[in-house]
Chain A
């Protein structure tokens, strides 16, 4: 009887993770800029999620999973910041050169000018533009945009996932939308 319940729960978790993993990977990839790093973070998030929250009600799984992933992304960015600082001490001019390497958006093929941002672009070019614009956003702004507009979480849930106030989410989101509009306008 108990075994049945555990088997059922395992199957539900498997289904949930299967439905979520690609979205999580895309989110992590936009956050890290590298597929391998993103895969590692998603793997850690899955592991941590199952370890700590498998017994929680299924309705709570999505926010809890993204909370774990968001936390892993924050850790990743902290580590990157520390690494960059050390590199700046050791190879000051090299990182300067890296900073001056140019805007990644410049490498995205500019679509023909049309009246609506994104709307008239081909899907491939539009996705490239959107992806590049999202990667350029500060981490908190990008997460606020993805969680609110892509995942469809409400303000309170997004705030819970990001570990900040609802007001902060609104601020991050507003800045993200402004930055995205500007970036996508430039690349029409």
Chain B
């Protein structure tokens, strides 16, 4: 059965529209290409932001924690004896220091006395 004369041949119109896509000139195609690249560049920006986002989040969280921490007193806890005091005590005990320096001599002296006593 043939198509009635007054019908619109949609296949033909589709074909014509398809063919018309080859009519765009180079300048138009170039502008289309630029538009496409511009649209896609959003993905690169998003990707870069996705990389920085966790780091930024961590930095912000750290800053928040520091800001919210209760302020501690600046003084150091007191120790029973300070290092300076300990050194001073050592230096003032001159006798003990002498004993330590001549320890070998006293050991020899003791040996000599024992020998004299025993002999």
Residue numbers of A with Cβ under 8 A of B are: 3, 6, 9-10, 13-14, 17-18, 21-23, 25-26, 35, 39, 42-43, 46-47, 49-51, 54, 115-119, 123, 126-127, 130-131, 146, 149-150, 177, 180-181, 184-185
Contacts and interface: CB of A to CB of B under 8 A. Distances in A.
B32 A21 contact: yes
Contacts of B9: 116-119
Contacts of B24: 22, 25
A37 to B, nearest CB: 13
A119 B21 CA distance: 19
Contacts of B31: 39
Contact of A127 (B20, B29, B35, B47): B20
State the main secondary structure of chain A at its contact with B. helix
Q: How many residues of B sit at the interface, in one of the four size bands?
A: 20 to 34
Contact of B35 (A23, A43, A115): A43
Interface stretch (B38-46, B63-71, B78-86, B103-111): B38-46
Contact of B40 (A17, A25, A177, A184): A17
B43 A10 contact: yes
Contacts of A126: 12, 16
